Amino acid sequence: MAFPRLLGQLPLLLVQTSSTIIQRNFSVSTAAAAVQKMTRVRVVDNSSLGNTPYHRPPRVIHVYTKNGVGKVGDKVLLAIKGQKKKALIVGHKMPGERMTPRFDSNNVVLIEDNGNPTGTRIKVPVPTSLREMKGDYSKVLAIANTFV
Partner 1 sequence: MNNILCRSRRLLSSACRKSASLDQSAVSRCVSLLSKARCHRVTVALSSGQQHWRQGASLRCPFEPKRCYTDTGDSKLTERAEKLEEETNQVESNRSSINSQSQGFSEVFTLNVLVSLLRQENAVDLCVIKVPDHIQYAEHFIVVSGVSPRHLRAMALYAIKVYKFLRKDGEPHVKIEGKEAEDWMCVDFGNIVVHFMLPETREVYELEKLWTLRAYDEQLKKIPAETLPEDFIFDGELPK
Q: Give the footprint of partner 1 on this chain (CB under 8 A).
A: 28-30, 46, 112, 114-116, 120-121, 123, 128, 131, 136-139, 141-143, 145, 147
Look up residue 118 and give its amino acid: T
Q: Which of 53, 82 has the CB closer to partner 1?
A: 53
Q: Minimum CB separation from partner 1 for residue 116, in Å?
A: 5
Going by C-alpha positions, the residue among 83, 93, 4, 79 that lies closest to residue 38 is 79
Taking the CA atoms of the chain, what radius of gyration do you get in angstroms? 21
Q: Minimum CB separation from partner 1 for residue 55, in Å?
A: 14
Q: Which of 18, 29 has the CB closer to partner 1?
A: 29
- Cβ-based burial of 48 (10 A; exposed 0-12, middle 13-18, buried ≥19): exposed
91 C-beta neighbours (distance < 10 Å), count: 27
- Provide the 8-state DSSP code for 128: G
Q: Which of 3, 136 has the CB closer to partner 1?
A: 136
Q: Which of 46, 65 has the CB closer to partner 1?
A: 46
Look up residue 135 and give its amino acid: G
Three-class secondary structure of residue 26 per DSSP: coil
Q: Minimum CB separation from partner 1 for residue 16, in Å?
A: 24
Q: Minimum CB separation from partner 1 for residue 7, in Å?
A: 21
Please list, in sequence order, all residues whose beta carbon lies within 8 angstroms of the beta carbon of residue 148, skipping any fewer than 6 positions away.
Answer: 101, 125, 126, 127, 128
Q: Which of 79, 143 has the CB closer to partner 1?
A: 143
Q: Minimum CB separation from partner 1 for residue 60, in Å?
A: 21
